[in-house]
């Protein structure tokens, strides 16, 4: 309705301070949620792999959890966590845990039994087996889970705008509210770019972290 | 569709038959009546995304249904700009808009304080620019207002928006994303009153009240007719510099539809002047705090209106279907 599509660049440069603040909020909550997600999901996956009877209920729970809409999590947490940063972080962390846990579980489970037996035969302790054999061998799949969680959360973080959590979603909702394309794109384009750039950076990082013999391109 | 066709066919054959038998007058009027009923156009009603909007547009839908019009509801569409766009593009045929919103947010005209002048301006401009007709105002003025918790306002000695100026930098503001960008919202308000809040957060309209109540924010952009203001023990600040324009609610209808069926205007004008500020606030509260369905509240109000039981209603305002 209003505004030339490319005007969003002008909008960003005219509102630089606001834009950088929102971008900062967006990055902060996304990265923190993935970090907490890793801290919870990885150990959890390791435990579930070891304790077989937990496997079925936990993976089912994770799969079902994936289907709860993020907005519903935000709404449900309002009475407990209030508005703004905390409920946003909570919802995003839940969202991060699920893919990271599932990938880590599948990755570790998928390690060739023959390799594990060989390691056992060489007399490795439990922790050595985990750190030297299982995690490195599962790392491509684990890393793919982290990548999925991060890119996905960059998108979901826009929902914070509904509950006073700020972030680039503010611009998207304000643009939508006024049907002002330049404001809407000032929020939407950076979110898309952010997701792409993150994908690339994490792709590079994967090459550093994953052992050379296991380098495969996971798309 | 086929049923329609058959009915028409049936009437036609009856008509020819009766024509032959010579009772022309009676039959024709009969056919006309059936035709007129069948020809009533389907009316699509929209609304914005907050309680009062859903409630009054539900009333509009029910009134039309009572008068025999097929109605399609597309309520809870979103912000003013979105619903307006839907109306202009013909996705919906009518919704209730506020004069001040039409003036500033839609037309981008400067704020004016005389209610009649605002109504006249939007009526003329909507007709010329969009081919849309404003019907008669419903009676209430749902102006924007800044609201605070009563205790905090008393404690800080804030009664007017001017009083806020000295203390705003210690207060957190919460508003709808729409209010944060509208010219008659925060940007204009900050300029008029020279306000700088410690924090400005955008959120969903429903969450805003909860956030204020739970002390997550200190000042919100409320609606004057929102029942939660008394319900939660909130106080609205006086707009002492007269920044906000009047926001009288009135149905806006596509001109095309009105020229096709002018009777629609009469049906909707039954609501003219029927709802004052207090009545609207009470109705809103029944939904927001009472947990009732908007449709039930709307139905009950219309029934009361029909029997002359409420407010300044005119006695002849009965559903046209009877």
User: What pLDDT is recorded for position B31?
Assistant: 53
Higher pLDDT among residues B24 and A186, named by residue: A186
Q: What is the mean pLDDT of residues B253-264?
A: 95
At residue B76, does pLDDT exceed 80? Answer: yes
Beta strands in B43-137 (DSSP E): 43-48, 71-78, 94-98, 132-134
Contact residues, chain A, for B78 at CB < 8 Å: 176-177
Q: What is the mean pLDDT of residues B101-109?
A: 91
Q: Show the CA angle centred on residue A67, arms to residues A61 and A72, nearest 5°.
A: 110
At residue B322, does pLDDT exceed 80? Answer: no
pLDDT bucket at B37, cuts 50 / 70 / 90: low
Contact residues, chain B, for A174 at CB < 8 Å: 177-178, 180-181, 202
CA distances from residue A153 to A74, A195, A199, B58 in whole angstroms, order as listed: 14, 9, 12, 37
User: What pLDDT is recorded for position A212?
Assistant: 78
User: What pLDDT is recorded for position B32?
Assistant: 54
Tell which phi-psi region holds residue A67, choosing left (phi > 0), alpha (psi between -120 and 50) or beta: alpha
Interface test with A, best of B48, B177, B187, B212 (most A CBs within 10 A): B177
Q: From B80, which residue of chain A is nearest by alpha-carbon distance? A: A177
A161 vs B78, B181, B202: nearest CB: B202
What is the residue extent of each domain of chain A?
A: 7-210
Question: From CA B172, how far away is CA B208, in angstroms rounded?
Answer: 12
The pLDDT tens digits of the residues spanning A80-105 come to 888 899 999 999 999 999 999 999 99
User: What pLDDT is recorded for position B10?
Assistant: 45
Q: From B204, which residue of chain A is nearest by alpha-carbon distance? A: A162
Evaluate whether A199 touches A147 at the Cβ level (below 8 Å).
yes
At residue B86, does pLDDT exceed 90? Answer: yes
Hey, which residues does B236 pair with through a beta bridge? B147
The pLDDT tens digits of the residues spanning A24-76 come to 999 999 999 999 999 999 999 999 998 989 989 998 988 888 888 888 888 88
At residue A216, does pLDDT exceed 70? Answer: no
A83 vs B81, B178, B203: nearest CB: B203
Handedness of CA A51, A54, A55, A56 (dihedral sign): positive
Contact residues, chain B, for A88 at CB < 8 Å: none
Instruction: Identify the CA nearest to A28 among candidates A69, A85, A84, A77.
Output: A85
Q: What is the mean pLDDT of residues B176-188?
A: 91
Interface test with A, best of B84, B199, B203, B216 (most A CBs within 10 A): B203
Contact residues, chain B, for A161 at CB < 8 Å: 177, 202-203
At residue B21, does pLDDT exceed 50? Answer: no
Q: In this structure, what token pair is assigned to residue B292?
A: 């009732």
Q: What is the mean pLDDT of residues B163-167?
A: 93
Question: From CA A33, how far away is CA A95, in angstroms rounded?
Answer: 9
Q: From B181, which residue of chain A is nearest by alpha-carbon distance? A: A174
At residue B19, does pLDDT exceed 50? Answer: no
pLDDT bucket at B309, cuts 50 / 70 / 90: low
At residue B23, does pLDDT exceed 60? Answer: no
Q: How far is A35 from chain B (nearest CA, A)?
A: 26
pTM of the predicted structure, to 2 decimals: 0.76
Considering the domain delimited by A7-210, tell me its CATH architecture: Orthogonal Bundle (1.10)
- A183 to chain B, any CB pair closer than 8 A? The answer is yes
Hey, which residues does B99 pair with through a beta bridge? none
User: What pLDDT is recorded for position B9?
Assistant: 45
Inter-chain CB proximity A178 and B201 less than 8 Å: no
Inter-chain CB proximity B177 and A84 less than 8 Å: no
Of the listed ranges B8-12, B46-50, B172-176, B205-209, the least confidently predicted one is: B8-12
User: What pLDDT is recorded for position B149?
Assistant: 96
User: What pLDDT is recorded for position B13?
Assistant: 47
ipTM of model: 0.77
Inter-chain CB proximity B81 and A170 less than 8 Å: no
Q: In this structure, what token pair is assigned to residue A67?
A: 């289907």
Question: From CA B206, how far away is CA B208, in angstroms rounded?
Answer: 6
Interface test with B, best of A3, A85, A174 (most B CBs within 10 A): A174
At residue B311, does pLDDT exceed 60? Answer: no
Residues of B in CB contact (< 8 Å) with A are 78-82, 85, 105, 174, 176-178, 180-182, 201-204, 207, 210-211, 214, 216-217
Inter-chain CB proximity B202 and A170 less than 8 Å: yes
B181 vs A78, A166, A174: nearest CB: A174
Inter-chain CB proximity A174 and B81 less than 8 Å: no
Evaluate whether A85 touches A26 at the Cβ level (below 8 Å).
no
At residue B321, does pLDDT exceed 60? Answer: no
Q: How far is B85 from chain A (nearest CA, A)?
A: 8
At residue B264, does pLDDT exceed 90? Answer: yes
Interface test with B, best of A3, A172, A178 (most B CBs within 10 A): A178
- A18 to chain B, any CB pair closer than 8 A? The answer is no
The pLDDT tens digits of the residues spanning A169-211 come to 999 999 988 888 899 999 999 999 999 999 999 989 888 888 7
Instruction: Identify the CA nearest to B47 among candidates B315, B248, B294, B319.
Output: B294
Inter-chain CB proximity A84 and B214 less than 8 Å: no
């Amino acid at each position: 309705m209003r505004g030339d599509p490319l005007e969003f660049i002008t909008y960003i440069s005219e509102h630089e301070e606001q834009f950088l603040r929102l971008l900062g909020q967006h990055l902060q909550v996304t990265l923190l949620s993935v970090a907490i997600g890793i801290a919870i999901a990885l150990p959890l996956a390791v435990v579930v792999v070891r304790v077989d009877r937990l496997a079925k209920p936990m993976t089912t729970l994770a799969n079902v959890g994936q289907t709860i809409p993020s907005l519903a999590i935000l709404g449900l947490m309002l009475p407990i966590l209030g508005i703004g940063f905390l409920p946003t972080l909570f919802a995003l962390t839940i969202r991060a845990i699920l893919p990271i846990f599932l990938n880590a579980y599948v990755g570790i489970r998928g390690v060739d039994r023959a390799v594990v037996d060989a390691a056992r035969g060489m007399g490795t302790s439990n922790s050595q087996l985990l750190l030297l054999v299982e995690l490195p061998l599962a790392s491509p799949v684990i890393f793919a889970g982290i990548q999925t969680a991060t890119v996905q959360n960059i998108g979901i973080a826009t929902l914070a705008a509904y509950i006073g959590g700020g972030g680039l979603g503010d611009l998207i909702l304000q643009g939508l509210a006024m049907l002002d394309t330049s404001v809407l794109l000032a929020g939407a384009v950076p979110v898309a770019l952010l997701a792409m750039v993150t994908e690339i950076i994490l792709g590079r990082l994967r090459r550093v972290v994953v052992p050379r013999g296991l380098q495969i391109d996971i798309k | 569709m086929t049923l329609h066709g058959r009915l028409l066919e049936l009437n036609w054959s009856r008509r020819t038959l009766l024509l032959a038998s010579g009772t022309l007058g009676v039959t024709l009027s009969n056919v006309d009546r059936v035709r007129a009923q069948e020809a009533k156009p389907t009316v699509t009603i929209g609304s914005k995304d907050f309680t009062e909007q859903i409630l009054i547009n539900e009333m509009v839908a029910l009134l039309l249904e009572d008068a025999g019009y097929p109605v399609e509801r597309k309520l809870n569409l979103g912000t003013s700009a979105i619903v307006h766009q839907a109306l202009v593009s013909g996705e919906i045929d009518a919704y209730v808009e506020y004069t001040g919103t039409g003036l500033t947010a839609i037309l981008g005209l400067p704020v004016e304080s005389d209610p009649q002048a605002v109504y006249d301006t939007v009526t003329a401009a909507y007709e010329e620019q969009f081919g849309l007709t404003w019907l008669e105002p419903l009676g209430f003025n749902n102006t924007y207002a800044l609201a605070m918790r009563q205790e905090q306002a008393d404690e800080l000695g804030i009664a007017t928006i001017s009083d806020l100026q000295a203390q705003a930098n210690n207060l957190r503001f919460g508003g709808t994303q729409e209010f944060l960008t509208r010219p008659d919202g925060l940007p204009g308000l900050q300029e008029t009153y020279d306000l700088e809040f410690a924090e400005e957060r955008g959120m969903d309209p429903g969450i805003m009240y909860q956030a204020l109540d739970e002390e997550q924010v200190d000042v919100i952009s409320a609606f004057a007719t929102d029942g939660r203001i008394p319900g939660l023990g909130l106080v609205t600040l006086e707009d002492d510099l007269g920044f906000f324009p009047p926001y009288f609610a009135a149905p806006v209808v596509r001109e095309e539809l009105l020229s096709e069926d002018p009777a629609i205007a009469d049906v909707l004008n039954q609501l003219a002047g029927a709802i004052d500020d207090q009545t609207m606030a009470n109705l809103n509260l029944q939904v927001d705090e009472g947990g009732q369905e908007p449709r039930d509240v709307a139905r009950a109000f219309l029934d009361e209106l029909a029997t002359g039981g409420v407010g300044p209603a005119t006695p002849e305002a009965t559903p046209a279907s009877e």
